[in-house]
Structure 1
């Protein structure tokens, strides 16, 4: 009888690192779900190795633990990259598109190195840079900050939630097919801005010194329905509703 394949050492190392970070937070799964865009069941799968976590979940857990995310992200990059199976056959990538091309693997390695040497406080790990005013669409916009693209031009506010100290808006660009979270705060305060559609989530963290950063990276979505925008400011989390029925004024 065929046995299920054992977890790769890199997967086990990542899972062990995530558990260590979770122990440092002292938070239960329910508390993690309250403080991040991920559900209790999602955290259970990530911390037991049942399902690989998205990059933004690794970053969020490291932040809650007060740890430098570089080590965890390096393990995440290694675990996400395809490797040779027994007998030398290539292992299909988790995206289902087959092994990554050599240039993509090199780019992933370069991203790990950049994460290790990047100055702290940059605020947006994993966000991709584009030329000012550049137009993108769908997956080509994934991870791009809206302010660096033309997508902000036709952006609509589709849902809003207000806290005593800040306001969170779900923004959607019909021409780009993207959604993102935008937060408005009063005063200088550290904040994390995130957007989520199902288990796909992206986030950006800004220090109190960064007075201009106010959005998450863009998430490629066919419509704003089912998308949730969140912001955590001074330990308080606020999220918009999942249904975006009628557009509000930009």
Structure 2
């Protein structure tokens, strides 16, 4: 179930920071819509403070501006969602003791971990059962959209579905069955600035990395049902290379 997104005020630190990042990119609202999964009208609402942006949108804009997402995500988390007022017929009534679904999910996870620890403590029982519970993917499908594969643990079961090799770098289309996501990955053979992008239909996400960035090599993730029809690209030193699977192409690798 989707929760209503609260509105923000134009002078909030998050909105001010998002406007600064948009100015740094030099992109119009239409250009932002073309390079992210969010529409022109959605970006207008996010940047005017009339609607709270989703976390992946904040991360996508930050990366387009070549900035560190962590401080901006911290602003996003600090802004939070304002509490929704109770309907008139419920005001004054005692609060229910039912726990929200998120709390129940956490309790269920904690119980499962506790059970796994108990089982693992028995003689002859392997410990990796506990590690699997603790290190599984942190998102799935559209909750992963705009996230990076390593941070979300989606890279753990990633499969290379298609590859193109250039004299200075390799580009790979990567797919995570557990997360239901695909992304582009580039491996450069010498320090050079690079832009890595992934596209599926009208959805396109990209990330830019400076030459001295030795860790950034992947695009944000796109939520997809299959790696077929997804195109992975990288531009390095003014040269563009793309790879992908045609819709009718089957790859078991």
Q: TM class by shorter-chain length?
A: 0.5 to 0.7
Question: 2:191 aligned with 1:188, yes or no?
Answer: yes
Secondary structure, counterpart of 2:73 in structure 1: helix
Gaps of 5+ in 1: 90-97, 105-129
Give deviations 1:114-172, integer Å, cap 9, x for gaps: xxxxxxxxxxxxxxxx98xx7769829955437862x13xx2425x6788865533223
SS of residue in 2 equivalent to 1:84: coil
The structure-2 alpha-carbon separation of the partners of 1:204 and 1:66, relative to structure 1 and needing over 3 Å to count, comes to closer
Decide which structure has the larger Cα Rg and report it: 2
Aligned pairs for 1:219-238 (under 5 A) are 221-225=224-228, 227-231=230-234, 233=236
| RMSD of Structure 2 on Structure 1 (CA) | 5.1
CA contact (8 A) 2:154 2:179 kept: no
State the match for 1:28 in structure 2.
28
Q: Which runs of 5+ in 2 are unaligned?
A: 91-99, 107-130
- Cα distance between partner residues in 1 of 2:244 and 2:188: 19
Query: Contact 1:192/1:231 (CA < 8 Å) preserved in 2?
Result: yes
The two structures have a TM-score, normalised by structure 1, of 0.52
| Residues in 2 aligned to 1:205 and 1:174: alpha-carbon distance in whole angstroms | 26
In structure 2, the residue matched to 1:246 is 249
Q: Deviations over 1:11-66 (max 9, x none)?
A: 955333322322233332344456x4446625445434565444343234334445
Shift of 1:195: 4.5
Question: What is the deviation of 1:186?
Answer: 3.9
Report if the CA contact (8 A) 2:171-2:233 is conserved. Answer: yes
- In the aligned structure 2, how far is the partner of 1:61 from the partner of 1:77? 16
State the partner residue of 1:14.
Answer: 14
Matched-pair contact (CA < 8 Å) for 1:37–1:196? no
Matches within 5 A, 1:87-236: 100-101=102-103, 139=140, 142=144, 144-145=149-150, 149=156, 151-152=157-158, 155-158=159-162, 166-174=169-177, 177-195=180-198, 208-209=211-212, 211=214, 214-216=217-219, 221-225=224-228, 227-231=230-234, 233=236
| TM, length-normalised to structure 2 | 0.52
The verdict on how the C-alpha distance between 1:139 and 1:24 changes in structure 2, with shifts beyond 3 A counting, is closer
Q: How does 1:81-92 map to 2 (within 5 A)?
A: 81-86=80-85
The 2-side partners of 1:228 and 1:139 are apart by 20
State the alpha-carbon separation in 2 of the partners of residues 103 and 27 from structure 1. Answer: 40
Give aligned pairs, total.
205
Separation in 1 of the partners of 2:6 and 2:140? 32
